[in-house]
């Protein structure tokens, strides 16, 4: 049924006035996940022929909202209205049937299938024998592609296309259902400058066709360029909405971050010692360029930036997971650029990764085997394991970290996220490092354990350990760091002492608004 | 939140180790082995003869030697399908060396050395170049066997010195063969290596999550390389024993042995996806397969039926725990 032109409107007869009623409305939406209230009382209206920008920090609830609108999750409370009627989206297909479609950050497409097959996967037009009606599918694919101004052959295999063209296919796929509401989740994140220009044209076209567009972005320049309205999310609630013409950058940023510091962070009097790490000119072919900084004993250095700013990639290069293309790393004055994690650990630099399940922990193995894995050389004699020593070492760190577990022999994967993180941190402390890098140390960690991790981080610094903390949470960055480095698109864009640092400065530097900081 | 003044006590282990052992896979295998042994003893009057039993060990000792190293490799999440071909290449190398007048010590070193070199080549392909081990070793399986055929053609090497025969035909004490004694020693060595050393612990870590192991400072590629070399070495040693026992080399020697070795490892409770398994289990599985082959042989059951038997045993032993698990829900 996707063949008919969605709205046969030319730009001329589409003067959708601001006063036209919303095509989609959210009223009092509440959504909780175990331990977290992701959305609380969200109200949002989307108007035909208008772009509404959805703005908020990481974790503000934007992704959850998209999932509710596309049938992935169901709201616990509240209602979704489409064209004034209450609608339910129990499945992705139901959302599509109501005319809500989404272009995701990373759409799942199939390289081995053709452009047309990708566009119509799951809802291909059928002939009377129930088989795919190929001529009609090609024709309709061509029509949709023409409508978004994409010059692509419907029969071309997807693997032959470039990233930008694949993105167009993803958009065509989203528009192959009769859409009234189009959600674009950071659509420009992977695009080049020229492609972004083309995307803007496409957005204008969709507006002219009368579609309501929800545009999620971290980039203020593009929000001001294409959005008609804004909605700001913070901590799962909407804190402000209105017309773009009636707001400026400064007030948007205030709304995004203007929370009271609701978490309590440990009070510290940092005892900053001698320099332990010095990185100069660190570069990577694709992920980061020309990063230089130093770190002192007893210091907590925060790395802030948007997701994808290259912070984790930088830390993994320092840890020897990937090789830098240029740059020098000095640990305690000695020039050592680790070529493997094993070398980094020997040099006294350890890294607790963001992705605990995949990189940080061997979840099927018991707690004690995880904890001793990097220190086996120290607890063994002539390569032979000594179980008593293993348990003693594990017990020491389990007690220091206030671990909650049934036994030290329990598989690590059975513990809560916070307790898994404690084991990962404990495993590195057992190697007696000089420098510990914690990448999003409280991500997926419940509130209680979060405070324990912060408390512990402060203790470590007080004992003279040098700590690097990568975090996308502004309160955590401000609450824990002695000094903050902001990265954007693989480069350092600012370095700030804690004193006088405000959320506004961080957000502006990370999003590239105005001048960055002094470096 | 402050640290608790008195840290909570977490026990080292919960279950008593006796109870855990009772519920283990190894207990099941032991019961199966005892049942087959009893059945065989009742079914044939010739079964309990020590010399017959001793003879019967030959049908698993060589495979079991390779299974020891293969178990480590599979626990680490890799596999080596080329071990049968390594046996052939090592045997052909020994045969060719014999033609040039090499004596027993030299032959043993050549056999083991060729195995080690083949293992190193597999390790280079997998750990060095990053090829998937199943593909790489299917390739080297053809490669090694092909080289053996080119060197030897349709012929056979023979004329091994009398002292060489001891490895496959000699007895160390009473009815205990050299091969069985060697297997027992190797089983202890591998048992300690896997269960009692840093190296063994790292094998489990790699098999469960190679990325996290690497992120924990484990030198993953070096360990994978070592495991392939060990497997090659064991295939080389098995080749010495087998060549010595048969007294001649044909290029088809050890054909299809890789599957029997892998069957032994999987029957022994090693997860084919890696990450778990014990040496004791693998040795019990070797014993079970040997007992079945021997018992059916005594009853004059043809070889084809034996392979059906082993297949059914493998499937049922693997399927049984899962079926029980499902019934419990």
Q: Per residue in A266-304, pLDDT tens?
A: 888 888 899 999 999 999 988 899 999 999 999 999 999
Contact B147, B82 (CB under 8 A): no
Quote the tokens at residue B133.
Answer: 């081990």
What's the CATH number of domain A24-257, 3.40.50.300, 3.40.190.80, 2.40.420.20, 3.40.50.970? 3.40.50.300
Subunit contact B208:A362, Cβ cutoff 8 A: yes
Residue that is written with structure tokens 């907590």 in the block: A300
Q: How far apart are CA A31 and CA A27, in angstroms?
A: 12
pLDDT higher at A268 or A459: A459
The per-residue pLDDT for B28 is: 85
pLDDT of residue A106: 63
210-229 in chain B: CB under 8 A from chain A = 211-219
| Min Cα–Cα distance to chain A from B126, Å | 18
- Give the separation between CA A426 and CA A448, rounded to whole angstroms: 18
Domain ranges of chain A: 24-257, 275-362+434-511
Q: Which residues have a Cβ under 8 Å from the Cβ of B132 and sit 6 or more positions away?
A: B126
> In chain A, what residues touch B2 (CB-CB under 8 Å)?
455
CB contact under 8 A, A368 and B12: yes
Mean pLDDT of A119-143: 88
In terms of pLDDT, which residue wins out, A252 or B126? B126
Cα within 13 Å of Cα(A129), Cβ side: 4
In this complex, the residue of A340, A380, A405 whose CB is nearest that of residue B198 is A380
Q: CB distance from B16 to chain A under 8 Å? A: no
| Inter-chain touch A342–B219, beta carbons under 8 Å | yes
pLDDT at B43: 86
Mutate to test the interface with B, among A320, A362, A432 (most CBs of B within 10 A): A362
Mutate to test the interface with A, among B19, B127, B217, B273 (most CBs of A within 10 A): B217
- What pLDDT digit, counting tens, does each position of B279-304 carry? 999 999 999 988 888 888 888 888 77
- Chain B CB within 8 Å of residue A374 CB: yes
Nearest alpha carbon to residue B317 among B285, B292, B295, B286 = B285
At A507, is the pLDDT very low, low, confident or very high (cuts 50, 70, 90)? Answer: confident
Whether B191 contacts chain A with CB within 8 A: no
Q: Which helix (H) or strand (E) holds A79?
A: strand A77-82
pLDDT for res B137: 97
Could you report the predicted ipTM of this complex, rounded to two decimals? 0.87
Any residues with CB less than 8 A from the CB of A5 and at least 6 apart, and which?
A143, A147
Phi, psi (degrees; rounded to nearest 5) at B190: -70, -35
Cβ atoms of residues A218 and A63 within 8 Å: no
**Which ranges of chain B have pLDDT less than 70?**
1-8, 15-22, 321, 328-329
Q: Does B7 touch chain A (CB under 8 A)?
A: yes
Which DSSP symbol is given to A19? T
CA B50 to chain centre: 25
- Is the sign of the CA dihedral A367, A369, A374, A376 positive or negative? positive
Which member of B197, B205, B215 has the closest CB to residue A385? B197
Kindly report the nearest CA distance between residue A405 and chain B, in angstroms: 7
Q: How far is A312 from chain B (nearest CA, A)?
A: 13
Q: A275-362+434-511 domain in CATH 3.40.50.300? A: yes
Q: Does B46 touch chain A (CB under 8 A)?
A: no
B11 contact A CB<8A: yes
Break chain B into its structural domains and give their ranges: 56-324
CB–CB contact A409 B218 (8 Å):
no
Show the tokens assigned to B82.
């080329």
Spatial distance between the Cα atoms of A48 and B290, rounded to a whole number of angstroms: 77
**Mean pLDDT, residues A144-151 taken together:** 83
**Which residue in A365, A403, A414 has the most chain B C-beta atoms within 10 A of its own C-beta, making it the best mutation to test that interface?**
A365
- The residue with tokens 């401000």 is A478
| Contact present, A241 and A231 (Cβ < 8 Å) | yes
Cβ neighbourhood burial of B137 (10 Å; 0-12, 13-18, 19+): buried
Question: What value, to the nearest 5°, has the Cα angle with vertex A341 and ends A335 and A346?
Answer: 55
How confident is the model at residue A5, as a pLDDT?
A: 42
Q: Is B33 left (phi over 0), alpha (psi -120 to 50) or beta?
A: alpha
Residues of A in contact with B13 (CB under 8 A): 407-409
Which residues in chain A are contacts of B276 at CB distance < 8 A?
364
- What is the distance in angstroms between the Cα of A274 and the nearest Cα belonging to chain B? 27
The C-alpha of A329 sits at a distance from chain B's nearest C-alpha, in angstroms, of: 18
- The structure tokens listed for B212 are 């996290």
Q: For residue A358, give the chain B residue with the closest CA.
A: B212
pLDDT at A328: 92
Domain B56-324 has CATH 1.10.3470: yes
Output the pLDDT for position A87: 87
Measure in Å the smallest separation between the Cα of B86 and chain A Cα atoms: 30
Q: What pLDDT does A442 receive?
A: 84
CB contact under 8 A, B197 and A361: no
Rg for chain B (alpha carbons), in Å?
21
The confidence score (pLDDT) of residue B1 equals 40
Would you call B132 an interface residue with chain A, using a CB distance cutoff of 8 Å?
no
DSSP B274: S
> Out of B212, B219, B275, whose CB is closest to A358?
B212
B248 contact partners, CB below 8 Å, separation of at least 6: B95, B156, B157, B158, B160
Using pLDDT thresholds of 50, 70 and 90, give the confidence band for residue A466.
very high
Same fold, A24-257 and A275-362+434-511: yes
- Left, alpha or beta for A290 (phi > 0: left; psi -120 to 50: alpha)? left
Does residue B10 sit at the A interface (CB-CB below 8 Å)?
Answer: yes
Q: Which residue has the higher pLDDT, A245 or B14?
A: A245
* B156, B34 Cβ separation under 8 angstroms: no
Q: Can you tell me the distance from the alpha carbon of A505 to that of A486, in angstroms, rounded to the nearest whole number?
A: 10
């Amino acid at each position: 049924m996707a063949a008919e032109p969605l709205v046969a409107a030319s730009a001329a007869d589409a003067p959708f006035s601001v006063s036209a009623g919303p095509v989609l409305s959210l009223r009092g939406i509440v959504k909780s996940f175990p331990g977290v209230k992701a959305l609380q009382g969200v109200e949002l209206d989307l108007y035909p022929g208008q772009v509404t920008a959805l703005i908020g920090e990481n974790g503000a609830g934007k992704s959850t909202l998209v999932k509710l609108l596309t049938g992935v999750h169901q709201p616990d409370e509240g209602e979704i209205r489409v064209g004034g009627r209450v609608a339910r989206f129990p499945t992705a297909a139901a959302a599509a049937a109501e005319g809500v479609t989404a272009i995701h950050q990373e759409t799942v497409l199939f390289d081995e299938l053709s452009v047309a097959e990708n566009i119509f996967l799951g809802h291909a037009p059928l002939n009377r024998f129930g088989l795919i009606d190929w001529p009609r599918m090609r024709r309709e694919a061509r029509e949709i592609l023409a409508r978004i101004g994409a010059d692509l052959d419907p029969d071309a295999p997807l693997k032959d296309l470039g990233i930008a063209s694949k993105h167009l296919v993803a958009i065509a796929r989203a528009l192959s259902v009769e859409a009234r509401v189009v959600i674009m989740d950071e659509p420009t994140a992977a695009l080049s400058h020229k492609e972004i220009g083309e995307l803007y044209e496409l957005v204008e076209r969709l507006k002219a066709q009368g579609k309501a567009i929800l545009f999620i972005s971290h980039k203020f320049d593009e929000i001001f360029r294409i959005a008609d309205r804004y909605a700001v999310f913070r901590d799962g609630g909407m804190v402000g909405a209105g017309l773009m013409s009636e707001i400026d950058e400064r007030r948007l940023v205030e709304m995004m971050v203007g929370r009271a510091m609701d978490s309590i962070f440990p009070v510290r009097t940092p005892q900053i010692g001698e320099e332990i790490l010095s990185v100069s000119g660190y570069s990577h072919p694709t992920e980061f360029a020309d990063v230089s900084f130093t770190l002192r004993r007893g210091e907590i250095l925060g790395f802030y930036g948007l997701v994808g700013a290259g912070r984790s990639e930088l830390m993994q290069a320092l840890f020897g997971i990937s090789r830098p293309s240029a740059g020098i790393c000095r640990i305690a004055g000695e020039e050592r650029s680790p070529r493997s994690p094993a070398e980094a650990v020997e040099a006294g630099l350890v890294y607790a990764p963001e992705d605990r399940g995949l990189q940080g922990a061997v979840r099927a193995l018991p707690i004690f085997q995880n904890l001793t894995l990097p220190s086996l050389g120290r607890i063994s004699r002539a390569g032979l394991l000594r179980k008593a020593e293993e348990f003693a070492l594990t017990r020491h760190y389990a007690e220091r970290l206030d671990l909650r577990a049934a036994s030290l022999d329990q598989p690590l994967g059975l513990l809560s996220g916070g307790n898994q993180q404690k084991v990962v941190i404990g495993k590195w402390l057992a190697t007696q490092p000089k420098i510990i890098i914690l990448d999003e140390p409280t991500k997926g960690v419940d509130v209680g354990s979060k405070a324990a991790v912060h408390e512990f981080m402060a203790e470590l610094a007080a004992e003279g350990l040098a700590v690097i903390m990568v975090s996308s949470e502004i309160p955590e960055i401000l609450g824990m760091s002695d000094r903050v480095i902001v990265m954007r698109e693989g480069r350092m864009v600012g370095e700030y002492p804690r004193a006088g640092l405000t959320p506004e400065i961080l957000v502006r530097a990370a999003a590239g608004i105005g001048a960055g900081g002094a470096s | 939140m402050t640290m608790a003044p008195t840290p909570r006590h977490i026990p080292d282990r919960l279950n008593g180790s006796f109870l855990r052992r009772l519920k283990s896979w190894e207990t099941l295998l032991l019961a199966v082995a005892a049942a087959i042994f009893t059945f065989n003893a009742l079914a044939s009057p010739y079964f309990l003869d020590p010399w017959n039993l001793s003879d019967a060990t030959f049908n698993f000792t060589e495979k079991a030697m390779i299974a020891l190293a293969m178990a480590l490799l599979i626990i680490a999440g890799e596999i080596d399908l080329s071990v049968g071909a390594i046996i052939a290449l090592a045997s052909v190398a020994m045969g060719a060396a014999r033609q040039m007048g090499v004596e027993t010590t030299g032959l043993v070193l050549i056999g083991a050395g060729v195995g080690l070199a083949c293992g190193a080549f597999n390790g280079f392909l997998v750990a060095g170049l990053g090829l998937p081990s199943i593909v790489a070793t299917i390739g080297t399986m053809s490669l090694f066997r092909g080289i053996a055929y080119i060197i030897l053609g349709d012929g056979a090497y023979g004329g091994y010195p009398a002292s060489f025969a001891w490895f496959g035909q000699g007895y160390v004490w009473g009815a205990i063969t050299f091969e069985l004694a060697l297997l027992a020693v190797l089983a202890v060595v591998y048992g300690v290596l896997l269960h009692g050393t840093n190296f063994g612990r790292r094998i489990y870590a790699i098999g469960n999550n190679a990325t996290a192991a690497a992120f924990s400072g484990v030198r993953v590629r070096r360990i994978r390389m070592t495991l392939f070399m060990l497997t090659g070495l064991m295939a080389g040693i098995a080749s010495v024993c087998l060549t010595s026992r048969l007294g001649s080399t044909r290029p088809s020697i050890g054909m299809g042995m890789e599957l029997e070795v892998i069957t032994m490892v999987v029957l022994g409770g090693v997860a084919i996806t890696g990450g778990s398994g014990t040496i004791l289990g693998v040795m019990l599985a070797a014993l079970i397969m040997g007992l079945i082959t021997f018992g059916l042989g005594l009853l004059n059951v043809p070889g084809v039926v034996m392979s059906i038997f082993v297949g059914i045993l493998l499937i049922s032993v693997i399927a049984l725990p899962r079926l029980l698990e499902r019934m419990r829900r």
